[in-house]
Structure 1
Amino acid sequence: MSFDTPADDTSASHEDRPSKSQRKREMQALQDLGEKIIALSEAERARLPLSDDMRFAVEETGRIRSHEGRRRHMQYVGKLMRREDTEAIQAAFEAFEQEKLRRDHAFHRLEKWRERLIDEGDEALEAFIAEFPDVDRQTLRQLIRNAKSERKRGKPPANARKLFRLIRDTAGL
């Protein structure tokens, strides 16, 4: 009599299935992804490839006030996430992150322009005008002059902010 055959079949099927802990981690990851979706603005959520059921559940979350009710609802969101295309959703989140990085980089570039214009004077001004010929030169010169004056007197940087806005608008961001 051989007892090895049935035991081997059972152990093989157990190895194929994820452990209970692994399933819990996966469910928690889906629930966390649901939380990230809920935290997005409506405009960003509209860009995600979500089913109608998922969109409704996300909208419903805002109406739930009870802590326990919200916890249960988040479990429901995690359950709905199992049917969603999580790879496409993750790709959309990565696209959001890339857009944010590009925007941040552009703003840093504009801040450098502002600092150059205030610190370096006419040389930086000519370089800026060469790169952005449509700029209102008179307003630009006045804001630079006022920002330098503010800085020397230790005043709040109101004109430096106005200068940044002018640079930003001129650059089209």
Structure 2
Amino acid sequence: MSQDSPRELLDQLIAQTGDDDERPSKSQLKREMHALQTLGEAIIAMTPAERARFPLSDDMLAAVEETARVRSHEGRRRHMQYVGKVMRRENLEAIKAVYDEIEQEKLRRDHAFHRLEAWRDRLLDEGDSAVEAFIADYPDVDRQALRQLIRNAQRERDKGKPPASARKLFKLIRDTAGM
């Protein structure tokens, strides 16, 4: 079985719903059922705040809540089959729209996180010229704390110590950037 993402599975399921001119094969039905189970697992794995954004029926919400109580491996397997069955009655287009929105938000957060990491690395490697550039971009930063954390992080790096100050520097950069 290929490891398609829930996004790809949603695209496939939505595309297949329009092909109603002939009866699907048993293999096709199994593939669709597996895709729905995978999508259900992805929704279950999300945070409650993310899950609340989906237009899910009361049956699906109950199945999601029930998942936490299922402990045995076989019981979980059977429960995920049930989740797949319940997913058949859900509005897949609306779920796909919310899923895409959540994925885009995660991508934006990841890109912002990488930009902040690049600032931290630049501040540690380039010194004063990078500090001035950072201050120009973020004039509200606590300059004294910034310079102190950079010195401490550079000292830790040179001595091969754990990067406690580098983490504090990243936290200062993140807080200054408003993330």
TM-score tier by shorter-chain length is 0.7 to 0.9
Within the alignment, does 1:82 sit opposite 2:88 as a pair? yes
Cα distance in 1 for residues equivalent to 2:71 and 2:23: 37
Candidates 48, 72, 78, aligned match of 1:66: 72
CA RMSD of aligned residues (A): 1.3
Cα distance in 2 for residues equivalent to 1:111 and 1:137: 18
Q: 1:27-83: CA deviations, max 9, x gaps? A: 111111111111112111111111111001110111112333222222221111111
TM-score calculated relative to the size of structure 2? 0.84
Candidates 113, 121, 132, aligned match of 1:107: 113
Q: How high is the sequence identity, in percent, across the aligned residues?
A: 76
Q: CA deviation at 1:101?
A: 1.3
TM-score calculated relative to the size of structure 1? 0.86
Candidates 154, 165, 172, aligned match of 1:148: 154
Aligned residue for 1:133, secondary structure, equals coil
Q: 1:89-138: CA deviations, max 9, x gaps? A: 12222222211111111111111111111111111111101100000011
Aligned pairs for 1:2-151 (under 5 A) are 16-151=22-157
Q: Which stretches in structure 2 are left out of the alignment for 5+ residues?
A: 1-20
AA of the residue aligned to 2:76: R
Cα distance in 2 for residues equivalent to 1:152 and 1:46: 47
Stretches (4+) displaced over 4 A: none
Candidates 151, 157, 173, aligned match of 1:167: 173
Does 83-92 or 64-73 show the bigger shift?
A: 64-73
AA of the residue aligned to 1:106: A
Aligned residue for 1:16, secondary structure, equals coil
Aligned pair count reads: 159
AA of the residue aligned to 2:78: R
Q: Which stretches in structure 1 are left out of the alignment for 5+ residues?
A: 1-14
Cα distance in 1 for residues equivalent to 2:33 and 2:154: 56
Cα distance in 1 for residues equivalent to 2:30 and 2:55: 25
Cα distance in 2 for residues equivalent to 1:147 and 1:59: 45
Q: Which has the larger radius of gyration?
A: 1
